[in-house]
């Protein structure tokens, strides 16, 4: 736990609102494999991490609600009676969206104040937005005794993202952030929203994230377009979702659809199979196979699903050229953010230092290296600041 952040949000809250807050942590997530499969009712393999959003929150007796985003040094005042989305891209939409969706679910809340701060950068593809949504719904559920289950809460967070942030996301991020388990990754079936935890034995390897520190424009609209394409194709095949489609089914309509749509659907079908195979490889402690599947995933994301970018492709290619990396791929929605890498522990420092130099030389920009631990999902932090 980041004690410094806990203390910062707590002290800021007390100095602004003169009362003791409830403290909640909600983690970001990584995803080992299974990208863009969640909204196709498929499989994903995420884990919550030890970095995320810390919120200090309490009921308020004033006429409206105040939420302070400490990282941005911004705040919003709003009334529970007049909720509407702000322009796309604003952080406030995550808060307003969650509150609106709680009301839509027939639950009633009173005014509140909150202060939040995080230790995952927005745009890193580590789901700081899902962490923020979950932190708000979870803490409001506790403060106002709403009796929402964790399943209810993640659906509220997801709807906030759909209706206020205007991204038609799947359920992976909110699920991983809410249900994460220390030292485990979750093999999640996005159709019935249940998961099996896997304790991964990384042996002489470790997971390292490398942030390109870029987030290209239009990523949200490209995301929504990809989802629409997948839905169009599954409809054409009378399937509920691409999860139900086999490669040979897709082959039958190949001539009727644009080649790029065919490639996108084929990617999803293959990625879903890779994710199932990854679970088998992990169960057998077969890191080589896992690594190979991770590289294949990137290739599909880049050349077929077309959600990568030069910076991500460069980082993955360098990893591929090296003998100390078993697997690497872009992670999350794409068009920037992080790659996830399975790197030999002993060689990790040298590899990432050399890579950072090459990245800087090529793009005139620094990349960032993150080491993360697989951690528990959204939870209240005790008064003594321990888990
Ligand atoms: C974003 C979305 C998720 C998922 C990934 C891609 O993180 O929020 O629902 O679709 O992209 O796998």
The residue whose CA has the least distance to atom 2 of ligand 1 is: 169
Ligand 1: which atom is nearest the Cα of residue 37? 12
**Which of 170, 254, 168, 301 lies closest to 245, judged by CA?**
254
Question: Tokens for 199?
Answer: 């304790």
**Whether residue 332 has its Cβ less than 6 Å from ligand 1:** yes
SS3 assignment for the chain: CCHHHHHHHHHHHHHHHCCCCEEEEEEEEEECCCCCCHHHCCEECEEEEEEEEEEEEEECCCCCEEEEECCCCEEEEECCCCCCCCCCCCCHHHHHHHHHHHHHCCCCCCCEEEEEEECCCCCCCCCHHHHHHHHHHHHHHHHCCCCCCHHHHHHHHHHHHHHCCCCCCCCHHHHHHHHCCCCEEEEEECCCCEEEEEECCCCCEEEEEEEEEEECCCHHHHHHHHHHHHHHHHHHCCCCCHHHCCHHHHHHCHHHCCHHHHHHHHHHHHHHHHHHHHHHHHHCCCHHHHHHHHHHHHHHHHHCCCCCCHHHHHHHHHHHHCCCEEEEEECCCCCEEEEEEEEEHHHHHHHHHHHHHHHHHHHCCCCEEEECCECCCCEECCCCCCC
Return d(Cα 103, Cα 116) in angstroms, integer: 22
> 39 CB under 6 A from ligand 1?
yes
**Residue 215 alpha carbon to ligand 1 centre in Å:** 15
Q: Is the CB of 38 under 6 A from ligand 1?
A: yes
Question: Residue 383's pLDDT is what?
Answer: 58
- pLDDT confidence of residue 190: 98
Q: State pLDDT tens for residues 362-377.
A: 999 999 999 999 999 9
d(CA 165, CA 130): 11
173 is known as an active-site residue: yes
Q: From ligand 1's centre to the CA of 35, what distance in Å?
A: 7
DSSP-derived pairing of the beta strands 112-118 and 194-199: unpaired
pLDDT, block means (10 residues), the chain with 387 residues: 95 97 98 98 98 98 97 97 94 97 97 96 90 98 98 98 96 98 97 97 96 86 96 98 98 97 98 98 97 98 98 98 98 96 97 98 97 96 59
Retrieve residue 242's tokens: 């691409």
**Six token digits for residue 323:** 């003998």
* pLDDT given for residue 1 in this prediction: 87
Evaluate: CB of 169 within 6 angstroms of ligand 1: yes
* pLDDT (0 to 100) of residue 384: 52
Residue count (the chain): 387
> One of 38, 41, 50, 173 is an active-site residue; which one?
173
Contact 274, 289 (CB under 8 A): no
For ligand 1, say whether the CB of 36 is within 6 Å of any of its atoms: yes
Q: What is the pLDDT of residue 220?
A: 84
**pTM exceeding the 0.85 threshold for the entire prediction:** yes
**Residue to substitute in 132, 166, 274, 332 for testing ligand 1 pocket (most ligand atoms within 8 angstroms of CB):** 332
- Sign of torsion over alpha carbons 157, 132, 46, 151: negative
* 36-56 pLDDT per residue, tens: 999 999 999 999 999 999 999
CA of 192 to the centre of ligand 1 (A): 17
């Amino acid at each position: 736990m980041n004690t410094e952040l806990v203390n910062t949000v707590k002290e800021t809250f007390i100095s602004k609102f003169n009362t003791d807050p409830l403290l909640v942590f909600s983690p970001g997530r990584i995803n080992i494999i299974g990208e863009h499969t969640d909204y196709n009712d498929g499989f994903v393999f995420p884990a919550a991490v030890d970095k995320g959003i810390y919120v200090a929150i309490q009921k308020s007796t004033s006429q409206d609600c105040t939420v302070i985003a400490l990282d941005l040094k911004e705040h919003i005042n709003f009334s529970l009676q007049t909720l509407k989305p702000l322009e796309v891209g604003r952080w406030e939409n995550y808060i307003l969206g969650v509150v609106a969706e709680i009301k839509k679910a027939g639950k009633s809340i009173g005014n509140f104040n909150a202060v939040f701060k995080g230790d995952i950068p927005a745009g890193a593809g580590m789901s700081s937005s899902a962490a923020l949504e979950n932190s708000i719904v979870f803490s409001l559920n506790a403060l106002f005794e709403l009796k929402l289950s964790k399943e209810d809460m993640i659906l509220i967070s997801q709807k906030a993202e759909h209706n206020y942030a205007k991204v038609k996301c799947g359920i992976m991020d909110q699920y991983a952030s809410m249900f994460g388990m220390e030292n485990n990754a979750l093999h999640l079936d996005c159709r019935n929203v249940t998961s099996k935890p896997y304790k991964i034995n990384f042996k002489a390897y470790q997971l390292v994230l490398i942030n390109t520190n870029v987030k290209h424009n239009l990523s949200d609209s490209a995301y929504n377009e990809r989802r629409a394409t997948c839905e169009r194709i599954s409809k054409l095949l009378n399937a509920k979702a691409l999860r139900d489609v086999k490669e040979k089914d897709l082959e039958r309509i190949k001539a009727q659809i644009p080649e790029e749509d065919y490639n996108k659907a084929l990617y999803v079908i293959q990625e879903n199979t890779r994710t199932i195979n990854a679970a088998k490889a992990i169960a057998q402690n077969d890191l080589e196979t896992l690594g190979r599947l991770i590289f294949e995933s990137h290739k599909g994301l880049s050349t077929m699903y077309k959600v990568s970018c030069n910076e991500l492709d460069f980082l993955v290619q360098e990893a591929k050229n090296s003998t100390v990396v078993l697997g690497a791929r872009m992670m999350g929605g794409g068009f920037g953010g992080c790659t996830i890498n399975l790197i030999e522990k002993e060689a990790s420092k040298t590899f990432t230092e050399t890579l950072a130099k090459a990245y800087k030389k090529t793009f005139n920009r620094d990349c960032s290296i993150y080491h993360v631990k697989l951690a528990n999902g959204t939870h209240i932090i005790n008064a003594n600041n321990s888990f």
